[in-house]
Amino acid sequence: MTDVVNNGALKGIRVVEMGQLIAGPFCGQLLGDMGAEIIKIEPPEMGDPMRNWGHGDEKLWWEVVSRNKKSVTANLRVPEGQEIVRKLVAHADILIENFKPGTLEKWGLSPETLHAINPGLIIVRVSGYGQSGPYSSRAGFGGIGEAMGGWRYIVGDPDRAPSRMGVSIGDSLAATYGCMGALAALHARQTTGKGQVVDSALYEAVLQVMESIVPEYMISGHIRKRTGSILEGVSPSNVYPCSDGEYLIGANQDGIFARLAKAMGQPELAQNPRYATHVARANNLRELDEIIAEWTRTLTVDQLEALMIEHSIPAGKIYRAAEMLEDPHFAARDALVEVDSPRWGKFKMQNAFPRLSDTPSSIRTTAPTEIGQHNAEVFGDLLGMNDDEIAGLKAQGAI
């Protein structure tokens, strides 16, 4: 990956990433994709647990979340390791951490201490409940934030317990909001010259995407419930059976539904008072779904897709990784990019998004293979330590 030039919007921005697992590291991944230099601090010997996370026979999550990063080691529980952080932040623009609130303070790395060293430092703090409030000291993972933020209650089938997505959406949302806050703080620093703290709570990141569930309850007493594969009040919008698989159709707008009715050879459905309007279709959702499903069962997925394209109806196949790798649209837009890992060889992963026309994000380096792979580079070149100093820190167990 060394032949990929860094033209990213954040080129020249240096980030120290202290977080582990998902929320902190994903924030670092986003900033790194946009061109920032990411110096990731890992515990000596053990490393970030993400190195051993993933599904299948080989654990590859690390390869995605730690791309574009440099790995250094520091034992943050000893004074010598904490001093390394103080030295690093003197040269940094952003610090990311997702420890339990109070941990930085316990280590002598409070925002006040760090801002005394570098007044322009932006400190992104990702936690379960935020840095204040009666729950702030509680441990919190993404699933807890999803539950408290309202997500879990509405996901799944109505006759079963709340379900979850197959990805860690709470962590990813909190990381994304942390990244967004860091970018806003960078802009503010241009005017004020000062850094600030970005406080991203897991439950609040989830709450932010929960649309109007709170006002709906306050004004009308309505509580959204689990509705399985449908969305209450939106019809037709569902996965429908075909003779050889399943297919997603979203034709809930009046004009689009009229086109779907025509594609079905049943244009009269769009004039039927039970289905003619958005509200009417919502009131007769299951009945309409059965009519559509009866038709889609007579078609293959490819036949149905051809009709949806012909009639300009939002619809699509349900993809797994295999379909993504074969799809010409993914290929044309380089949605998946090939990397060459020292450990795994060549394989593909998702590219850097969103796309910026003049300062494109990119994957420039693969994830660090070794724990502390960049100790000599960062501690020597950036912090000015000589070989004896680095060796002494290693002997003390500080790195």
Q: With CA atoms as reference, report the closest residue to 287 among 236, 251, 243.
A: 236
Are residue 55 and residue 182 in the same domain, yes or no?
Answer: yes
Assess whether 152 and 61 both reside in one domain.
yes
Q: How many domains does the chain have?
A: 2
Inside any domain, residue 227: no
Residue 2, pLDDT above cutoff 80: no
Q: Could you give the CA distance from residue 165 to residue 89 in angstroms, rounded to a whole number?
A: 36
Task: Spell out the long-range contacts of 179-186 with Cβ–Cβ below 8 A and sequence spacing 24 or more.
Answer: 179/27, 179/30, 179/31, 179/124, 181/124, 182/27, 182/31, 182/94, 182/96, 182/122, 182/124, 185/122, 186/13, 186/93, 186/94, 186/122
pTM above 0.85, yes or no: yes
pLDDT classification of 343: cutoffs 50, 70, 90: very high
Quick check: is 314 in a domain? yes
CATH number at residue 65: 3.40.50.10540
What count of Cα atoms within 13 Å lies in the side-chain half-sphere of residue 334? 12
103 & 193 share domain? yes
Least confident of 200-204, 346-350, 374-378, 395-399: 395-399
Same-domain pairing of 76 and 129: yes
Catalytic residue status for 289: no
Q: What is the CA 354 to chain-centroid distance, rounded?
A: 12
Say if 217 falls within a structural domain: no
Does residue 73 sit in the same domain as residue 183? Answer: yes
Specify the CATH number for the domain of residue 253.
3.30.1540.10
Q: Which of 319, 339, 359 is the last residue of a domain?
A: 319
Measure the CA–CA gap between 175 and 201, rounded to whole angstroms: 9
The residue from 270, 290, 319 where one domain ends is 319
How many residues are present in the chain? 399
Q: What is the mean pLDDT of residues 360-389?
A: 96
Asked whether residue 7 is assigned to any structural domain, the reply reads no
Per-residue pLDDT band for 337 (boundaries 50, 70, 90) equals very high
Asked if residue 303 is part of any domain, the answer here is yes
User: Structure tokens of 114?
Assistant: 């760090």
346 bridge partner residues: 340
pLDDT, residue 142, reads 87
238: exposed, middle or buried (Cβ count in 10 Å: 0-12, 13-18, 19+):
buried
Q: What is the pLDDT of residue 314?
A: 97
Same domain, 275 and 190: no
Please give the residue range of the domain that contains residue 247. Answer: 237-319
Shared domain for 154 and 276, answered yes or no, is: no
Q: Are residues 83 and 149 in the same domain?
A: yes
pLDDT at 21: 92
Q: Over the chain, what is the mean pLDDT?
A: 96
Question: Residue 233: what pLDDT?
Answer: 87
Q: What is the pLDDT of residues 231-262, one digit of tens each?
A: 888 999 999 999 999 999 999 999 999 999 99
Same domain, yes or no: 298 and 390: no
Per-residue pLDDT band at 1 (split at 50, 70, 90): low
Active-site pick, 171, 254, 289, 387:
171
> Span 287-315, mean pLDDT?
98
Residue 267 lies in a domain: yes
Residues 200 and 140 in one domain: yes
Over residues 301-306, the mean pLDDT reads: 98
**Contact 386/380 with Cβ under 8 angstroms?**
yes
HEC string of 191-218 equals: HHCCCCEEEEEHHHHHHHCCCCHHHHHH
pLDDT tens, residue by residue, 8-24: 999 999 999 998 999 99
**pLDDT tens sequence across 52-88:** 999 989 999 999 999 999 999 999 999 999 999 999 9
**384 by DSSP, 3-state: which?**
coil
Q: How confident is the model at residue 3 (pLDDT cuts 50, 70, 90)?
A: confident
Give me the residue label for tokens 């702030």. Answer: 136
Are residue 148 and residue 259 in the same domain, yes or no? no
Within a domain: 230: no
Q: Is the pLDDT of residue 331 over 90?
A: yes
Residue 5 domain flag: no
Same domain for 265 and 202, yes or no, is no
Q: Examine the fold and report which residue of 319, 340, 370 is the final residue of a domain before the chain moves on.
A: 319
